[in-house]
Amino acid sequence: MTTEPVTSAEPAAPEGSALPGPDGRLRCPWGTMPEDYTAYHDTEWGRPVHGDDALFERLCLEAFQSGLSWLTILRKREAFRVAFADFHIPAVARFTEDDELRLLADSGIVRNRAKISAALNNARVAAEWEPGELDRLVWSYAPDPGARRAPRTTAEVPGSTPESTALAKELKKRGFRFVGPTTAYALMQACGLVNDHLADCWRR
């Protein structure tokens, strides 16, 4: 009597590994769905962002995201841009108390008084800087790209780093509000200062 050889099933991929999306490409798990996340993951997240206004926008949106889903912010982003004058620093710096009341009444954005107040404060601080100074400051905290190996699972992606802690500390020292190490690291991830696409992700 003969028996069939016993074959073991392929080991399951570690939790938090890259997953195939609708097109079969492997992506970071959060980028597989819904479509808003997939488009953002594939075309924006992790790509270098430069420019004072562009980085100011990301800083503001990451602060507004605190305690909320990024999907909420992503779906409100165009409304945020309209409400905040496309995040043009000099324009936001000129916002008055009436503008703050307008923002608090705008259902298209996140109506959080502390976050709105921080965004206006931060614009007023940055408006006093030299052109390009915010860009140079943020990018001066970009770590050596080869200092950390590519994460294989989401568990290997940190929530903050020494660089993000130092960046948050410097921004606060200069007068910025509502920016901590976690918010600063989210900015670094989104704007390409670090590459936290998983090792098997097609966008890596």
Contact 154, 131 (CB under 8 A): no
Q: Is 40 a residue of the active site?
A: yes
Beta bridge partners of 20: 26
Q: Is 15 a residue of the active site?
A: no
Please give the angle made by the CA atoms of 66, 67 and 73, to the nearest 5 degrees. Answer: 60
Q: How far apart are CA 198 and CA 136, in angstroms?
A: 27
Task: Say if residue 158 is exposed, middle or buried (CB neighbours under 10 Å; 0-12, 13-18, 19+).
Answer: middle
Task: Say if residue 23 is exposed, middle or buried (CB neighbours under 10 Å; 0-12, 13-18, 19+).
Answer: exposed
Token pair of 164, please? 């993000």
Q: How far apart are CA 73 and CA 61, in angstroms?
A: 7
- The letter for the amino acid at 192 is G
Nearest to 109 by CA among 132, 81, 89, 129: 81
Q: From the candidates 37, 45, 57, 62, which is the catalytic residue?
A: 62
User: Which residues are catalytically annotated?
Assistant: 40, 62, 70
